Amino acid sequence: MILSPKIEARHQQLQAVVYIRQSTPKQVQSNQESTRRQYQLAERAQVMGWPPSQIRVIDEDLGLSGASSRQRTGFQKLVAAIGLGEVGIILVTEVSRLSRRNSDWHRVIELCGVFRTLIADEDGVYDARDPNDLLLLGVKGTLFAAELHILRGRMRGVRRHPNLVLPRFRYRWRIPYAAFGIMRAENDDRRVWARGSPTSQAWTRARSMAAAMRRC
């Protein structure tokens, strides 16, 4: 995220809102680097010209999916603040943090255009009144929504076909088994596979994708 000529004095007289979200509680615990980077956007807002008193951090949506805004009180507060004309710029690490639902995403873009609110991510600063920026924001929102749809489709496929057996594969290269404490077996990669990771052991016992996922 770099300084942009799109930032005007009128924007800096309003709030710079840092919106922070992680999709699941597990991501909050295991992916703390992403959370840390999101909180650092408050420092970036100062570099961009906003005084600390005008920087607002909204982090109520940590651990909540962006697929819907119904349970995301932080997102609702952000939309309300934009509608009241209180926000000069929204800062996110990537725009998918705001929403992965097309209707919610386009509502934010429309409000930002009406109230001249900028959106900034790590790629740049966007003005929803600019036709090129509006097109780019629309494409990004569509891609994020499509990505979520594809992931859901894959999960439904696993549930519908729990006994799906993946084709076996064989190692085509020599592995220094001794380096991993595994006794070398000539012409027998099953021994290496069976004594490998917990995931491979689960697959060997379960023989299906869904069952292996439950065992891991």
131-160 vs 102-114: helix axis angle to the nearest 10? 160
Instruction: Quote the tokens at residue 125.
Output: 């600063």
Selecting among 4, 23, 53, 68, the annotated active-site residue is: 23
Compute the distance between CA of residue 216 and CA of residue 214 in angstroms, rounded to an integer.
6
**Residues whose CB is less than 8 angstroms from the CB of residue 42 and which lie 6 or more positions away in sequence, other chains included:** 18, 55, 57, 91
Compute the distance between CA of residue 73 and CA of residue 61 in angstroms, rounded to an integer.
7
Are the CB atoms for 15 and 81 separated by under 8 Å?
A: yes
Known catalytic residue: 23? yes
The residues carrying an active-site annotation are 23
